[in-house]
Amino acid sequence: MTNQHIQPTELWPSTQYGFSQVVVSTGTKIIHCAGQTAWDKDMNLVGGNDLEKQMAQALENVKTALAVAGASMQDVARLDIYLVDYNADKLPAVSAALSRFFAPDHLPANTLLGIQALALPEFLVEITATAVVDG
């Protein structure tokens, strides 16, 4: 199996933190996206303290990462969503953001995890994605 590591110029530079934004594994083409937060490419937080807005930016970053690897949101097979200080009151914001990026007939498998904290205190959510395309 061969992995191609991509650092898209459309996303913030992550090598200084010890990971690639995108890894493409060949054989069957499986695309692994690193955890995406609400940072834009210049490391500005998008959405402030609004979970739905942070979710939307994180998903937009997933979409960008997938595009440079030759995939789309329709190709996402799995998401892992990490929410800080999770409680059920946050589900409507999560669902609203997801519905903007995924058609009802292309919903990925999803794990939502409530956690204590992420890498920086301003992050409310982080999302990883795995996509599969014909390679």
Dump pLDDT digits (tens) for 72-106. 998 999 899 999 999 999 999 999 999 899 888 77
On the question of pLDDT at 6 being above 60, the answer is: yes
Mean pLDDT of 103-125: 92
The CATH code of the domain that includes 82 is 3.30.1330.40
Which of the two residues, 23 and 7, has the higher pLDDT score? 7
Please give the residue range of the domain that contains residue 36. 3-133
Identity of the amino acid at 133? V
Residue type, 75: D
Where is pLDDT greater, at 20 or 121?
A: 121
Stretch 16-22: mean pLDDT: 73
Contact 99, 56 (CB under 8 A): no
The pLDDT confidence band at residue 55, using thresholds 50, 70 and 90, is: very high
The domain tally of the chain equals 1
Q: How many C-beta atoms lie closer than 10 Å to residue 4's C-beta?
A: 13
Q: Give the model's pLDDT for residue 3.
A: 53
Query: Residue 25: phi, psi to the nearest 5?
Result: -100, 130
Strands (E), the chain: 3-6, 22-25, 29-36, 76-84, 109-115, 125-133
Are 79 and 125 spatial neighbours (Cβ–Cβ below 8 Å)?
A: no
> What pTM did the predictor assign?
0.87
Q: How far apart are CA 32 and CA 78, in angstroms?
A: 10
